[in-house]
Amino acid sequence: MLALLPRLRRFATGLARDAARADDLCQMTVERALRSRQQWQPGSRMDSWMYRIMRNLWIDEARAETRRGQTFVDEDAGLAVGADGGQEARAVLSDIDRAMARLPDEQREAVLLVMVEGWSYKEAAEIVGCPVGTLNSRLVRGRDALLAMLDDGQ
């Protein structure tokens, strides 16, 4: 489980678009996984099990926020996520982060799982809980939207 934390945090940061909220999401995921460890099937993949836990927690949190009438953090709060290079690298990452934040949740999720985390289409579809064709459609639309936003300089 410890070896998964960097990947889980990266996914959480992509979902939450805020480092503090991503840390909270990671903590909740680990807590839920430890409490529910008897539900994990030995021999099955722990990583996809934990990604599904994180995704479900994120959905629950987003719904709760909506009900409370709160909004997501400003997109500028996530501009420096993952930026450890020079100014040019930070500028490119800022553009990508801003474009990712503008994608609809389902498309952003597909892009994060397949293009950032490296999951296969089938694995990502299982994590999200949709047919592979649906995930593929979300990924194509998300990728095309990202490319269009980055080409326009938005």
Q: For the beta carbon of residue 66, count every other beta carbon within 10 angstroms.
A: 11
pLDDT in tens, 62-83: 877 776 554 444 555 555 555 4
The full set of domain ranges for the chain reads 2-152
pLDDT tens digit string along 51-65? Answer: 999 999 998 888 777
Report the pLDDT value the prediction gives residue 35, as an integer from 0 to 100. 93
**Number of neighbours of residue 154 by Cβ within 10 angstroms:** 10
What is the topology classification, in CATH, of domain 2-152? Answer: Butyryl-CoA Dehydrogenase, subunit A; domain 3 (1.20.140)
Contact 11, 117 (CB under 8 A): yes
Q: Detail the DSSP E strand segments found in 11-142.
A: none
Query: Percent of the chain at pLDDT above 90?
Result: 39
Indicate the pTM of the whole model.
0.53
Cβ contacts of 154 within 8 Å, gap of 6 or more: 95, 98, 99, 102
CA distances to 68, 130, 150, 151 from 10, in Å: 27, 22, 21, 25
